[in-house]
Amino acid sequence: MDADVAVVPANEARCEDLEAVFGTRGAASRCQCQRYKLAPRESFASVPAEVRADRLREQTNCGDPGSSATSGLVAYLADEPVGWCAVEPRSRYDGLARAYKVPWLGRSEDPDDEHVWAVTCLFTRAGCRRRGVSRALARAAVDFARAGGARALESYPVRTTAGAIAEELHVGTYDTFAAAGLREVSRPTPRRVVMRIDF
């Protein structure tokens, strides 16, 4: 673990730093953290990557430290932007409620509860992994949600097997969130876990 990891709200990060984290190739650059933000009948094929990047800039208010709203966190190693965490009220992820079963299977949860926040993406750039970035982001997400008035924070990580790289899935791992204080509340699929911390 690297002691030099610093995490800031995304509005305090420069837009160029956010772009550097997502890069120009690979799944993260294509998604731009819009998987759960697409409107009904939208798809990655119908919304160009440039538009998804514009939406992310608007959602984060990157480069605007005076903004009272943002949708995530950016991690730095020294001064290099290396990681991203999407964290905000769960109800703002329309696609999560509409198209994905994982958060809801076996639980009676109100998808519109503004006081339950969610981490839907936890991503560290290639070449910067295994240095504590994801764990720093997960801990910061807990503090960020609590400070934002959340009653609880959830995540939907995977349990990895030897050699598997959860970073490629951009959801984080069970161990990462457990180290941040989240506990398993359900296991809707053999690999996917719902984890939660109540404040």
In this structure, the dihedral spanned by the alpha carbons of residues 52, 58, 64 and 67, taken in order and rounded to 10 degrees, is -140
Q: Which domains does the chain have, with CATH numbers?
A: 5-198 (3.40.630.30)
Q: What is the pLDDT along the chain (199 residues), one digit of tens a residue?
A: 456 899 999 999 999 999 999 988 888 888 899 989 988 888 888 888 889 999 999 999 999 999 988 999 999 998 899 999 999 999 999 888 887 888 888 888 898 999 999 999 998 887 777 778 899 999 999 999 999 999 999 999 987 765 555 444 688 889 999 999 999 999 988 888 999 999 9
Three-class DSSP category at 187: coil
End-to-end CA distance of the chain: 27
DSSP string, 57-121: HHHHTTT-TT-S--SEEEEEETTEEEEEEEEEEGGG-HHHHHH--TTTTT----TT-TTEEEEEE
